[in-house]
Amino acid sequence: MAKKKHETIEQMKAKIEAYFERQRKEKRPLTVQGLALALDFKSRQSLLNYEGYTDNEDRPFLDTIQKARLLIEENKAEGMLTGDYPTAAVIFDLLNNHGHKNKHETTLKIDKAALTDEELNEQIKQFESRKDNK
């Protein structure tokens, strides 16, 4: 196993706070990618994988990383609501970096009395195939 990048949660928290402070001072948005770089990871995915690691006192990094990601998410949502960040960019970020889902619901109304069972089953199959192709 490779050497841990962070020996303690406190060390990681200090780097996270330094990243947030630098971004605020430079009036730059907070990003998961920027956080990963500030913590010396080579990718966003490496940061996410590190949630499963523990520090030298066997305390998990999970809560620390998740809280930092939540602060980034909050920053994006507030920026979108105040007009500081473009809505489409924030939606893209929330979908790709924060686990949000773009959920679509479709309602299908069929007059069952006007269709035979075979026709009704065919309508259902067509609807399900359209739904799967989206």
The model scores a pTM over 0.75 = no
Please report the pLDDT score of residue 1 as a whole number: 44
User: Cα-flanking dihedrals φ and ψ of residue 7, to 5°?
Assistant: -80, -35
Cβ neighbours for 55, distance < 8 A, ≥ 6 positions apart? 4, 6, 7, 8, 9, 12, 61
Q: Is 70 exceeded by the pLDDT of residue 121?
A: yes
Please report the pLDDT score of residue 36 as a whole number: 95
At 9-59, the pLDDT tens digits run 999 999 999 999 999 999 999 999 999 999 999 998 999 899 888 888 888
At 47-99, the pLDDT tens digits run 989 988 888 888 899 999 999 999 999 999 999 889 998 888 888 888 888 88
Please report the pLDDT score of residue 70 as a whole number: 94
